Amino acid sequence: MMLFFLVFLLCALFSEVSFSQESIQSHTTSWEDDFNGVDINTSIWKIHERKRGGAQQTRRAVSIEDGYLKIRTFTENKINYTGYITSAPSYLAYYGLVQAKIRFIGESGLHCAFWLQSKKMGKILNDTKTAGSEIDIVENRKFDRAGNFKGNVAMFNLHWDGYDENHKTDGGVWKSKEDLNVAWHIYALRWHPTGYDFIVDNEKKWSSTKAPSSIPEEIRLTCEIGGNNGWSGTVPKDGYGSYETAHFGMDVDWVRVTSETN
């Protein structure tokens, strides 16, 4: 009986890894940015310049250095600044594998994410195939509202039917043995007509068949500040350092969208 159980357990583990590796390998690249230029490619990415939450989004917070995208958060004259870029209107993803190699550099009050968004989300209720959904491929915050350490947690979330009284959500988490703020990981979404698989370093971590989107959606790479005692904790009293010393945020080595070949 014990031998049968061990064989069953090994088969289950092998099938999960095999699924993920096959899922990655059975795709061909259809769109990508390796961030190898001297500056961000504004024909691909739109850089937001607006107030959102507890920060002002600014072009100054986004740069290309050492072969990867850097989104940084800093404080000037008691105003917090951070970066927020989107692939719309130049490119919208649609099914297949959407993935990025990311390293988070977190601090209290700050959260960063790699996600997809639909402009129609919430404008049509109870029909995500037509309206789309917010698909958070990965979100990371270093601390939660109570100040507990969460830097080793990758969060996967779906939001649909708007953000008011009709709002609905579903989500999962992956707890790493190490702090995600010190290591690079590949975060991927396998998006298919009936749902989603959330993958980290070629291993599926969470799946959902809720709120399947059937429309193209924009890619977003963002860092945000929720304000004091927000979802990601309290903003530091002295802010996040100057523009010249800015350290906190997110690094992205590359982003790729691949389509299934079988």
Residues in the chain: 262
pLDDT of residue 58: 98
| 96 Cβ contact list (under 8 Å, min separation 6) | 27, 30, 190, 191, 257, 258, 259, 260
Mean pLDDT of 183-205: 97
- For residue 47, name the pLDDT band (cuts at 50, 70, 90): very high
**CA-based angle 38:53:187, to the nearest 5?**
50
Cβ atoms of 64 and 76 closer than 8 Å: no
Angle (CA) 30 253 83, round 5°: 100
- Domain residues for the domain of 68 are 2-260
- Tell me the average pLDDT across 145-161: 97
The structural domain count of the chain equals 1
- Environment class of residue 145 by beta-carbon count within 10 Å: exposed (0-12), middle (13-18) or buried (19+)? middle
Burial of 245 (0-12, 13-18, 19+ CB in 10 A): exposed
Report d(CA 11, CA 206) in Å as an integer.
19
Summarised one tens digit per residue, pLDDT across range 87-137 is: 999 999 999 999 999 999 999 999 999 999 999 999 999 999 999 999 999
Residue in the structure block whose two tokens are 């004259």: 77
| pLDDT higher than 50, residue 84 | yes
Average pLDDT over residues 62-75: 97
3-state secondary structure of 203: strand
CA distance linking residue 29 with residue 24, whole number of Å: 10
Please tell me whether residue 91 adopts helix, strand or coil conformation: coil
Sign of the dihedral defined by the CA atoms of residues 46, 99, 117, 158, in that order: negative
Which domain CATH number covers 227?
A: 2.60.120.200
Q: Which of 34, 113, 91, 27 is nearest to 67 (CA)?
A: 34
